């Protein structure tokens, strides 16, 4: 399958440079990225940037013969305080980390998950021509609209393709195996195991205590058994 070429643009100062270093090393069977930096002008409204300004910035120097998609990421607020906005056709999009970063860190979600989730979302919208894949219902689906920014925690911690979106994707012609690879790669977007365990303990404290006690007893028995074996061996 031919990989979709994505131009990633870091717009202005980035607090989370490390995510772009991770993205450079990320391997996907359906897309590849090249990362660029672009300065931002003064804010349009003192608080952020209008869609028109961002469209101008991202479409200038966007070589559509070389790249299929362009996604710009910025730390500042964008018009209507959205976290993402399609700026031109299906291939130029801007994504803002404003407020998202705090929502994710409050929920122990790596911001890199959000970056990836936005890439798979816009990539699939580009691939699936003729079907609208957004829905206002929150289903932990890659295409949840997330009108409430807090809902990004679902598509950034365990995104799926809901049944309705899957049937829409199957209706149109996509590269061979695209859906299967997409679903497989989405399974990589998960919370870090450490936080999964911490949250499970918080959710089921008594069960965790019980498991802790039983594990302690089992470890004690095994240690005793090994000790006796060693003693028998050396005391012979």
Q: Is 182 in the site for Zn ion (CB under 5 A)?
A: no
How is residue 18 written in tokens?
Answer: 């490390």
User: What are the beta bridge partners of residue 35?
Assistant: 8
Determine the size of the site formed for Zn ion (CB under 5 A): 4
- Pairing mode, strands 69-74 and 77-78: unpaired
With binding defined as CB under 5 A, does residue 162 bind Zn ion? yes
The reply on whether position 141 binds Zn ion by CB under 5 A is yes
Q: Which is nearer to Zn ion, 81 or 167 (CB)?
A: 167
**Binding segment toward Zn ion, per CB under 5 A, in 37-45, 73-81, 110-118, 143-151:** 143-151
DSSP 99: T
Q: 95: how many CB neighbours lie within 10 A of its CB? A: 23
Asked if 8 touches Zn ion (CB under 5 A), the answer is: no
Which tokens go with 49?
């940037």
Choose one: 43-51, 78-86, 139-147, 189-197; the region binding Zn ion (CB under 5 A): 139-147
Tracing tokens 């998202």 back to the chain, one arrives at 100
Alpha-carbon distances of 179 from 83, 113, 152, rounded to whole Å: 25, 19, 22
User: Binding to Zn ion by residue 153, rule CB under 5 A?
Assistant: no
Least distance to Zn ion, CB of residue 126, Å = 16
Residue of the chain from 49, 97, 143, 178 that contacts Zn ion (CB under 5 A): 143
Q: Which is nearer to Zn ion, 19 or 141 (CB)?
A: 141
- Told to check if 103 binds Zn ion by CB under 5 A, we report no
What minimum distance in Å lies between the beta carbon of 183 and Zn ion?
12
**Helices in the chain by DSSP H: which ranges?**
17-25, 51-59, 100-106, 111-127, 152-157, 163-171, 178-186, 193-203, 205-235
Stretch that binds Zn ion, among 21-29, 51-59, 110-118, 138-146 (CB under 5 A): 138-146
Q: Cα dihedral sign for 190, 150, 133, 114?
A: negative
Binding site residues, Zn ion, CB under 5 A: 141, 143, 162, 165
């Amino acid at each position: 399958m031919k990989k979709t070429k994505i131009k990633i643009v870091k717009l202005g100062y980035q607090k989370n440079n490390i995510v772009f270093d991770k993205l450079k090393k990320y391997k996907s069977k359906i897309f590849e990225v090249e990362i660029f930096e672009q300065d931002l002008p003064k804010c349009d409204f003192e608080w952020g940037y209008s869609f028109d300004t961002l469209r101008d910035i991202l479409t200038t120097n966007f070589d559509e013969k070389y790249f299929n998609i362009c996604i710009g990421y910025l730390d500042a607020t964008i018009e209507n305080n959205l976290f993402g906005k399609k700026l031109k056709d299906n291939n130029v999009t801007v994504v803002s980390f404003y407020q998202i970063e705090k929502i994710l860190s409050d929920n122990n979600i790596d911001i890199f998950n959000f970056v990836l989730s936005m890439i798979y979302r816009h990539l699939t919208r580009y691939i699936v021509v003729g079907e609208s894949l957004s829905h206002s219902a929150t289903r932990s689906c890659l295409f949840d609209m997330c009108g409430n920014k807090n809902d990004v925690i679902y598509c950034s911690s365990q995104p799926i393709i809901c049944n309705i979106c899957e049937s829409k994707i199957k209706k149109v012609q996509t590269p061979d195996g695209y859906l299967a690879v997409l679903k497989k790669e989405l399974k990589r977007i998960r919370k870090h195991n450490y936080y999964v365990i911490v949250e499970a303990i918080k959710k089921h404290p008594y069960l965790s205590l019980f498991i802790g006690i039983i594990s302690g007893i089992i470890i004690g028995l095994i240690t005793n058994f090994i000790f006796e074996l060693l003693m028998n061996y050396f005391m012979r």
